[in-house]
Amino acid sequence: MTFHTPRTLLTPDAPHTALRLGYGTNGLTNLRLDDALSLLADLGYDGVGLTLDHMHLDPLAPGLAARTRHVATRLGELGLGVTVETGARYVLDPRRKHGPSLLDPDPDGRAARTGLLTTAVRVAADLGAHAVHCFTGITPADTSSDLAWKRLEESLTPVLHAAAEARIPVAIEPEPGHLLATLDDFHHLRGLLGDPEPLGLTLDIGHCQCLEPAPPADCVRDAGPWLRHVQIDDMRRGVHEHLPFGDGEIDFPPVLDALAATGYRGLTVVELPRHSHAGPELARSSLAFLRAQFRSERRSRIRTQAAPPKGAPA
C-alpha cells in the first residue's frame, strides 16, 4: 500500500508557515469518491474539500457511519486532510437548487437544513476534518431583512452547539446574492450571535474579486483572525462565475503571500463546481498554476529584500 506525503507551499520569509492546497469534490462529480481522492493524492494535493452529496458520501443514505469510516481510512492512507463542505445543489430537494435554506419560510424546511449541517459536523468529527463549510441562502421573497437574520440566528444556533461539542469550527461563507454576502455581513452575524467560538469564516477568493470593495489580498488580511476555510478560484469583477486560473482578473501572488502571512493552517481548496467535465485535468493544471504563482511571489520578495536601499551605492 502506498502512503502519500502531502506537499505544501512555504512562505519566503517563514519556512515553518505553509499553505496546504486542496481541490473540491464538487468539481470532480464525474469521478467515484475513492478515485477522486486517489487522483488528488497522486497529483500532490494536501487535502480535499469534500462536498456531502448523493454521489460523494451521501449524508441522507443508509449506512453513513460505516461509509464515513471507510473515507476516513482512505484519507489516512493517502495523507489527505479534509474540509467538509455542504454546498450540494439538490441534496435536500431535487427540485430546488440549494433548497431549503436556513432562511426558508417553512420551519420544517429550515429544520431540514439545520439537520444536514449538524450531520455534517458529526461527519467532520469522524473524518478529522478541520472545519465544516456552509452558507446562508438567498433571502426569500416577501421576507424582511430583520426576519431573515432572525431565522438565520435560530437555524444556525443548534449547529453551533453541535460544533462546540465536537470541537469542529463552522465556517460560514459570504456568497454573492445571499443574505450573508460580504465580510461586513459576517461580522454582523458574529455580533448577533454574541461572537460564539465555533463560528468562523470561509473566504472564497473569487468572491472577493466579484463584489468586495477591497482587493482580494486586503480581504485576506482583514479576514485573517476568523479564517477557518479558504476556497480559491479566478473571477471577474461583478460577475459571479468561478473560473479556472488565468481566465479571470485576480493577481494571485499577493493573495497567496497574504494568505500565508495570516498563519492560516487549514486547507486552501480550488473551487470549480461547474467544471467537472474537465475535473482531472483542471486539478492538475490548478496545482501547477498555484505553485508557479507562489514561486513568482517568492522570487519577487527575495529580489526586493536583496536590493540596496534607495540612494545607496550599487
Cβ neighbours of residue 19 under 8 Å, at least 6 residues apart? 8, 9, 11, 256, 259, 260, 264, 268, 294
Mean residue pLDDT of the chain comes to 92
Per-residue pLDDT tens over the stretch 28-63: 999 999 999 999 999 999 999 999 999 999 999 999
Give the max Cα distance, the chain.
73
Per-residue pLDDT tens over the stretch 125-153: 999 999 999 999 999 999 999 999 999 99
CA-to-CA distance for 169 and 159, rounded, in angstroms? 10
Per-residue pLDDT tens over the stretch 177-227: 999 999 999 999 999 999 999 999 999 999 999 999 999 999 999 999 999
| More confident position, 219 or 314 | 219
**Where does the pLDDT of residue 294 fall: very low under 50, low under 70, confident under 90, or very high at 90 and above?**
confident
pLDDT of 14 > 50? The answer is no
Provide mean pLDDT across the span 3-24. 60
Predicted pLDDT of residue 2? 44
Structure pTM?
A: 0.91
